[in-house]
Amino acid sequence: MPNLSEWITHTIETLGGPGLALLMLLETVFPPIPSELVLPLAGFTIGQGQMGWVEVMLWTTAGAVAGACLLYGVARAWGRERTIRWMAKLPLVDEDDADAAHRWFDRYGKVAVLTGRCVPGVRSLISIPAGTSGMPFGTFFVYTLLGTLVWNGLLVGLGYALGANWQAVEGVVGIISKVVAVLLVVAVLWFLWRKAQQRRASRP
């Protein structure tokens, strides 16, 4: 993605720290802007002496958390009941399934938000069930902040360590993203198969 890389580089060079925050906010809301390009490049700029560690971590974390809070707010405004009714309209999904999914998030939401912020392909989406389930904002904010610090620190550190080869991080994270996507597809197919089997077994 040479054009995207050039645009990200230009944004950071032009706007500095605020540019990093803007990119990370957009990355959270619009996943096609990948953090695996933004963050390693930020690490490379540290190695070049253009910015410091504290500055990079503050700006990137602020932007990512702001984007996550935006998605959370939209999802929370949409509401739990409306989400359950919408999910019940999906093939082989009923209100009991949708309600069970929300109850699961009520129980394990903290861990889901914390770890989800460190999983490619899930990082942005995890804000949505947090919002629709009505997770308290303070709880969401704290676990989002912690998970974001871990993810940002890891990718910035890799970019710093790799130096001029910082773009290699994108390839590694891209492989992980594909693995996660395949696992999610398998999980959905398993759920649909199980529901079909249950309905077949319930027929007289």
- Please provide residue 68's backbone torsions phi and psi, each rounded to the nearest 5 degrees: -65, -40
The pLDDT mean for the chain works out to 78
Q: Is 71 within 8 Å of 28 (Cβ atoms)?
A: yes
Q: How many CB atoms lie within 10 A of CB 195?
A: 15
- Find the angle CA(90)-CA(91)-CA(97) to the nearest 5 degrees: 70
The residue-averaged pLDDT of 167-188 equals 59
Q: What is the pTM of this model?
A: 0.76
Q: Is 161 within 8 Å of 70 (Cβ atoms)?
A: no
The residue that leads in pLDDT, 118 or 73, is 73
- Find the angle CA(6)-CA(127)-CA(43) to the nearest 5 degrees: 35
Assess whether pLDDT exceeds 50 at residue 1. Answer: no
The residue that leads in pLDDT, 100 or 161, is 161
Q: Write out pLDDT tens, residues 18-60.
A: 999 999 998 888 766 777 788 888 888 888 888 899 999 999 9
Between CA 177 and CA 107 the distance in angstroms is 26
Number of helices and strands in the chain (H, E) = 9, 0
Q: Is 19 within 8 Å of 11 (Cβ atoms)?
A: yes
E-strand spans in 37-196?
none
Q: Is 45 within 8 Å of 39 (Cβ atoms)?
A: no
Considering only 1-10, 76-85, 94-103, 124-133, which range has the smallest mean pLDDT?
Answer: 94-103
Percentage, residues of the chain above pLDDT 90: 23
- Residue 57's pLDDT is 95
Q: In a 3-state reduction of DSSP, which class is residue 119?
A: coil
- Residue 197's pLDDT is 57
